[in-house]
Amino acid sequence: MWILWAVLAAISAALVIVLTKAGLKNVDSSLAFAIQAVLILLITWGVVIYQGNVGDWKGIEKNDWIFLLAAGVFTSLSTLFSYKALSMGPASYVATIERSSLIFAIILSIFFLKEKITWQIVVGGIAIIGGAMLIALSDPGE
């Protein structure tokens, strides 16, 4: 079932890139993210309320708070950086380079989460790096 959610996340992320790029023509990238962040806040808390999980925040342990808050900081930074890049470059290029974050996620997961590395992960990672470099070094006018 997680694969379905991952595919939906990928489709949603692709829509975010394209719609954001379209919306950044006359809007500052930081302002655009701030506007979207309000909606993110309303939608996510709406889901939490709908699911009846509001009271669960009291049971979150200290270490989990630290990890979740740090992830929130990096989510914000990642999005701000991504929107700035989108305001300056082609969406297909920005998205490709940004999604090479998968390589960093694999490396960090191995070291910090003790996840196992397989030959498939190595080959897939090399393909991701190769594809990102191919696109990044190509001429946008071609």
pLDDT of the chain along its 142 residues, tens only? 889 988 888 899 889 999 999 999 999 999 999 999 999 999 999 999 999 999 999 999 999 999 999 999 999 999 999 999 999 988 888 888 888 898 999 999 999 999 999 999 999 999 989 988 888 788 766 5
pTM: 0.82
Asked if residue 138 lies in contact with residue 96, where contact means CB atoms within 8 angstroms, the answer is no
Domain assignments of the chain as residue spans, ordered by start: 19-88, 90-142
Asked if residue 27 lies in contact with residue 89, where contact means CB atoms within 8 angstroms, the answer is no
> Which residue shows structure tokens 């939906």?
8
